[in-house]
Chains A and B, each alone.
Chain A
Amino acid sequence: AQSVTQLDSQVPVFEEAPVELRCNYSSSVSVYLFWYVQYPNQGLQLLLKYLSGSTLVKGINGFEAEFNKSQTSFHLRKPSVHISDTAEYFCAVSEGSNYKLTFGKGTLLTVNP
């Protein structure tokens, strides 16, 4: 069965610093991987996705993620964060033709001035 582990529940950083949010997944078949962002009192917004091809994927708001099959990881990165990036970030995985999307517990990114 597929599962997702987000290794950090909270990540505080200063504005303009780089950030990495870590995600590991467990699956026995090929996967699709997603990062969603949730701002306070909002729904989930798709940040980026890995479906196939290049292992480095770029998303909205300057975020990117790298798919590492050997380490079963899909870490999210941004070289310079802004106050407006403060939000909850969720990593999610779905297997092949399986519709089920399994989410991690989320990482709260707090960007301080």
Chain B
Amino acid sequence: EAGVVQSPRYKIIEKKQPVAFWCNPISGHNTLYWYLQNLGQGPELLIRYENEEAVDDSQLPKDRFSAERLKGVDSTLKIQPAELGDSAVYLCASSLDPPPNIQYFGAGTRLSVL
């Protein structure tokens, strides 16, 4: 069974440019998560989807970040415009309902903003 797939693995952009990350969850997993992992820190939740619905986006900086999960499968996370402080690893995870909803992670996208 394929795991969570993310692309690209690495992205280097200049500040003020837009950037997008893509995630394909494990087949059949209805819940999808985007996490931000800063250097030397644990992941922090940005947004959680149940099927197509964003049910927890309280930690998503909505002035520059947006996300979508069309058809309840793949998801895209976008930053526009990117700032120097956005340099981090962006992780996608997926899980099955109901709890304990064990989360399985992708390899992540490492973003460097210059």
Q: How far is the CB of A113 from chain B (nearest CB, A)?
A: 25
Number of interface residues of A (CB under 8 A): 25
The count of residues in chain B whose C-beta lies closer than 8 Å to any C-beta of chain A is 27
Interface residues of A in 88-113 (CB under 8 A from B): 90, 92, 94, 96-101, 103-106
CA distance A96 to B33 in the complex (A): 18
Given contacts A32-B100, A90-B42, A90-B43, 15 further A-B contacts (CB under 8 A): A32-B99, A34-B102, A41-B110, A43-B91, A43-B106, A43-B108, A49-B100, A96-B99, A98-B99, A99-B95, A99-B99, A101-B33, A105-B41, A106-B40, A106-B41
Q: Which residues of A contact B (CB under 8 A)?
A: 4, 32, 34, 36, 41-46, 49, 51, 90, 92, 94, 96-101, 103-106
Query: With A and B bound together, what is the CA distance between A22 and B28 in angstroms?
Result: 34
A43/B4 in contact, CB under 8 A: yes
Q: Tell me which residues across on chain A come within 8 A of B107, comparing CB atoms.
A: 41-43
Complex CA gap A104/B31 in Å reads: 22
Which of B's residues lie within 8 Å of A, judged by CB? Answer: 4, 6, 31, 33, 40-45, 48, 56, 91, 93, 95, 98-108, 110
Contact B100 A104 (CB under 8 A): no
- Which chain A residues border B99 with CB–CB below 8 Å? 32, 94, 96-99
Q: Are A101 and B103 in contact (CB under 8 A)?
A: yes
Which residues of chain B are near A34, meaning CB under 8 Å?
Answer: 102
10 A–B contacts from the bound complex (CB under 8 Å): A4-B42, A42-B107, A42-B108, A43-B106, A44-B43, A46-B104, A94-B101, A101-B33, A103-B42, A104-B42
